Structure 1
Amino acid sequence: MPYPPPPGSPGSGAPDEEPQKQPAPFDYNERLIGLSEEMGGNRPAFNARKERAGQGGPLRQVLTIAVSLALVVVCGVVVYALFTRGDDAATIAGAPTASDTASAGRTPSGSASQGGGSADVSGESSGKPDWPETSSPADPGDGATTSRSTIGPEHLAKADVPRPWEFTYGDVTLKARYLSGKDYSGCKAMLKPAIRTLGCDYAVRVSYKAQRGNLRMTHFIYDFSTVEAAGEAAKKIEPRHVIPPAEASLPDYTQGWFKVKDYGKYVVYTMVTASDAITEAQGKEYTSYGNTDLGAEILFRM
């Protein structure tokens, strides 16, 4: 039976779930002071610091406070004197002051090196308009994409994927054994021209088997060089654009799911095929979590 599944079969995998905040395994305060015998420790019981107001009398308390304040004042004076002396020495040695630094940004363009100019607090360049390359780095929020174009590791291969694959999230635990994989120097054998021409450089395929051989999960990883090209491809790619080899799907499968998502400059297309022994919920879990977990692994390698 060719992939994708026939009409009427389940479609794409379940959408990603929002991360849940897991409770801490213990109270950190209790862990720090939990040294008493009641909690099974062999150390002496934890004793909180007790007030000792009645042992020295009011006069002793007043004297103690006065001495403490005097020490604080003396230390402050000493520190201030040291810093003031250091600033004076720097000024005498000819180090630029704040006013000197500010005026330096108004030097003629002929005396500044190309690409010069000092940035102020707001991040804008103080260089002259006729200086090349003096503008401040573009803010990603303003639509700049150059800094995002290389998100993701430089290169991926089948050897980079987990073997075997084990995943746990909350009450969900999924396992799969590595079956086969292949590195492709290009994308022609794995992707139709409609998507390949968007800029696919090379592809990687990895296949897993799970649930006593009743389920097969295959990931196709496509490198599109830039974040922009990967995002565009992820929006357009469909099962009819993917060219899976025979070993990518379960023989005589009766149902299937797929999920596609971009991670940096990579697009991960996950297809899961299964027999009737697999429930729809299981199939969608392998599809959705398998894709998301591999994507996180890719971004972790940046």
Structure 2
Amino acid sequence: MSTTTPELEIERTRSPRRIRGTGFVWLLVLPGLALLIAVVLYPLLRSIAMAFFEESLLYPGREFVGLENFTVVLGEDFPQLLWQTLIFTAGATVLPFLIGLALALALDTGIRGRGVMRGMFLFPWLLPSVVVSFLWSWIFDANYGVLNGLLQSLSLIDAPVAWLFDTEAARAGLILAKTWNSFPWIMVMLLAALQTVPSELKEAASIDGAGAIRRFRTVTWPHIAGVTGIVLLLEVIWNFQHFDLIYVMTGGGPAGTTSTLATALYEAAFSAYDLGEAGAIGVLWIILLMAMVVVYVQLSERSEEPS
């Protein structure tokens, strides 16, 4: 004899079939997981595997060669290439950070018109990197560049200078162009962090006789140090793998003196058609980036440990 009441039977027939908790979680995760595998994981694993094969874009098939591609890459000008990458990374990280920090501190003082200035300073960041590359190529152009025209009008130079055909000038030009493009987002991030500093602490330090530098060191910096670390880490990662601005402005020249790991990988894959060598450069690139992240995490953990 059934003990189920008629009301319970009616409720069961009306209620939809429920999905169990675990099944519902997988239902939500699977689309994103499939996209991650297709867009990120598979290309990454394919690129890593490519480093151990001799493979070309010109003919089908591939042959396993082990570590031969790594031997070729490391036996060429890899130390010089890495040094040039680090020069660009350091310059394109430190300079925009200093400018962004200075502007953030200025805008945090309540200066008149700071809203308008904040919007104006964001303009370089809104432009695509390729547009920025062509803009600065035009500025540094030897024949009709704005920089040469300005310097000649001021009688600082007698004849046009081929800035991008001189190693040091080309490096400085790349760093300057990248700085102009990236300092606004650093400014915004640091300004947001500065606005979280309690005004009471600033006032108390000022009453105690602390100057501007001491207030920044003892009050402001501890509150923005975390955001600063993240900003610098992201800038290092982005600049270490930056490609389009370098490729458009100098193409790695003159004589390869502004080439980086990014441009070398592109040249190996799409100029020399050697996918194995390009894969080897990519694997070494990943290892270096991971090493940088590990060092940053260790330093961050040590700085957070109580003394």
TM-score normalized with structure 2 length? 0.22
Larger Rg: 1
Larger proportion of helix: 2
